[in-house]
Structure 1
């Protein structure tokens, strides 16, 4: 009779398994940072939110200026490509006309046949008339040779134009890829700024975006400053164009900021100063880093209404100086076109364009 053995128990069964599983889950929860209440994202103070949002807006504006520059180059490449294609089409039409003319000559020769000139003279019943016809045929042959030469030249020109168009198309695609990259950067920065601002109360949000000036004396003072600046700008501006640009900027106070916009109802920073001087009959470059070189550099102590004032080391922001230490600028998507002190941001330089 076989001996009865006690069944061997698994080391991880029953109560032991449940205990081990519970401990494992508890350890995993601890390692992952779950302590029963959960860890929320660190709460930033309004001042920290403002600092972070300001940085995001600055990064977005820098990307916006790169976007504007790439768009300007893409538009130029598109215009050149269109011009080359139009020119190639015109050359193709000329080539088709020349080929049609050659085809007519060839068809006529085929119908008449080809007989040696000596035999044609011998067989002709009217030698004088034949000789006149031979001279005419010789001239026709010269014209045919010229036409053939024209076809060859037109073919070379069409190929040159097509080659140039291929180069422009490659340039255009490169610019379009750059536009896509910069647009992605801009929207990412702006979305992050919006998420940060959404955490704040309306009052905190207004303070973080610079819209939190209290009512009463401060707002009346700002209103008085605006009226005083507006009255004196035309008399203190160095010339009529500068005065006209300042007047335009005043008329656009309160307009929304939209990146890439140049008016007439929305602007980014460089778009606003470009539109202001466009209204005064002066064409400025599209980007901040080109605008700073569009005129004569002036020091901060020399500023006059109508001067362009630039900020940050990368020359990523611009405003229009209006006197008394104030400028009109398009700040960022959280604030409309507004009056602001020049010393609100790190000053990088100034240019007088008019």
Structure 2
């Protein structure tokens, strides 16, 4: 027995280490697998470059600008529809009063006839489908006076008109509700885009922000160089125009008109220049005021709010949105721009500025900035118009 016990003891002790070794091997394999997975997963979401961040932020601001125009459009439509509904409700109230007057007149006639025993009580009239039906049913039409007939006719006319107005008011109220929903949606879109842009910028380190600022300066410098080139071209064109004018003044009078005097713009330059002076004077007075989306002044503006207010100072009413302002007046080429012209940007026509000459404009750029002068080449140009 002692020998048997001695034989079993060592076998029992060697079993435990083998289990531990097996567990450790499995654990190491698991750690290795996790490490491999982590190493593989890490590069799958690389941090965007500064150039990519700038492009994304610029695109978000452009989308916010487009959504701002949607907001302006919906806001204008909502105001118009609310005015229509208010007018309809006022008219309906007046119509109801006329209907009540007609009902009272019919009631008086019915009461008078009831007192003479000619008809059933007045209540029968009031609960009938219509006064006409009531009098038809009681066979009183032949005995009604002309005045009574007119009262019945007026009542029927007023009741039909009131029903029509109620239906129209209901329809307009539904349209107003749709406009209000569009207003809320566009407002939320603007806020979402701006929040995304702010979030991207907030994640940048101090070094990355400095690099982003350097890229922005390079972009501004390139736009400035293009503006200077245009300024030189405009100065050369003015000098040539003055030279031609002097030649015309000193040339003998032949009794014919020099075809070169026609500018081909379809605009009375003197009249337009006078209006443009007022536009630019107003716009310059707004420099330094903050951009606020949806704002039309006087303390803040968005881009189309500024252009509309400036041209309003010259006695010209412009639509509220960039999408409608681009349809006003005469289209002009960038090379033919005059001070006061409106320059539109991006393929979605989401931004606009007022040309001041020498390749520059006054505009309300974007949230976080103020009304300022800037090169028209800072953004991709869509096209330009001469409003008046």
Structure 1 alignment gaps of length 5 or more: 1-5, 116-137, 226-234
Offset at residue 153 of structure 1 (A): 1.0
Q: What is aligned with 1:280?
A: 314
Q: What is aligned with 1:180?
A: 184
Q: What is aligned with 1:154?
A: 158
Offset at residue 23 of structure 1 (A): 5.8
Q: What is aligned with 2:370?
A: 336
Q: What is aligned with 1:230?
A: none
Count of aligned pairs between the two proteins: 305
Superposed, 1:1-354 pairs within 5 Å as 27=33, 31=37, 42-114=46-118, 141-198=145-202, 199-201=204-206, 203-204=210-211, 206-207=213-214, 238-354=272-388
Name the CA distance, whole Å, in 2 between partners of 1:335 and 1:306. 22
**Cα distance per residue 1:52-86 (max 9 Å; x no partner):** 21111111111111221122112211111111111
Q: Contact between 1:60 and 1:189, CA under 8 Å: does it hold in 2?
A: yes
Offset at residue 196 of structure 1 (A): 1.7
Name the CA distance, whole Å, in 2 between partners of 1:45 and 1:187. 25
Offset at residue 26 of structure 1 (A): 6.9
Q: Contact between 1:246 and 1:306, CA under 8 Å: does it hold in 2?
A: yes
Q: TM-score, normalised by structure 1?
A: 0.75
Name the CA distance, whole Å, in 1 between partners of 2:30 and 2:160. 78
SS of structure 2 residue aligned to 1:319: strand
Name the CA distance, whole Å, in 1 between partners of 2:357 and 2:34. 63
SS of structure 1 residue aligned to 2:384: strand
Q: Contact between 1:67 and 1:183, CA under 8 Å: does it hold in 2?
A: yes
Q: What is aligned with 2:261?
A: none
Q: TM-score, normalised by structure 2?
A: 0.69
Structure 2 alignment gaps of length 5 or more: 1-11, 120-141, 232-268
SS of structure 1 residue aligned to 2:344: strand
Offset at residue 322 of structure 1 (A): 0.5
Q: What is aligned with 1:124?
A: none
Offset at residue 92 of structure 1 (A): 0.5
Q: Contact between 1:237 and 1:305, CA under 8 Å: does it hold in 2?
A: no
Task: Give the 3 Å change call, closer, same or farther, for CA 20–64 of structure 1 in structure 2.
Answer: farther
Name the CA distance, whole Å, in 2 between partners of 1:72 and 1:209. 35
Name the CA distance, whole Å, in 2 between partners of 1:208 and 1:100. 80
SS of structure 2 residue aligned to 1:239: helix
Name the CA distance, whole Å, in 2 between partners of 1:32 and 1:172. 55
Q: Contact between 2:219 and 2:378, CA under 8 Å: does it hold in 1?
A: no
Name the CA distance, whole Å, in 2 between partners of 1:306 and 1:344. 18
Name the CA distance, whole Å, in 2 between partners of 1:205 and 1:79. 47
SS of structure 2 residue aligned to 1:283: coil
Offset at residue 44 of structure 1 (A): 3.7
Structure in which a larger fraction of residues adopt helix: 2
Q: Contact between 2:62 and 2:350, CA under 8 Å: does it hold in 1?
A: yes
Name the CA distance, whole Å, in 2 between partners of 1:170 and 1:15. 76
**Cα distance per residue 1:292-314 (max 9 Å; x no partner):** 11111111121111100011111
Task: Give the 3 Å change call, closer, same or farther, for CA 150–81 of structure 1 in structure 2.
Answer: same
**Cα distance per residue 1:217-258 (max 9 Å; x no partner):** x9xxx9xx9xxxxxxxxx999332221111111111111111
Name the CA distance, whole Å, in 2 between partners of 1:25 and 1:275. 68
Name the CA distance, whole Å, in 1 between partners of 2:193 and 2:157. 54
Name the CA distance, whole Å, in 2 between partners of 1:19 and 1:86. 87
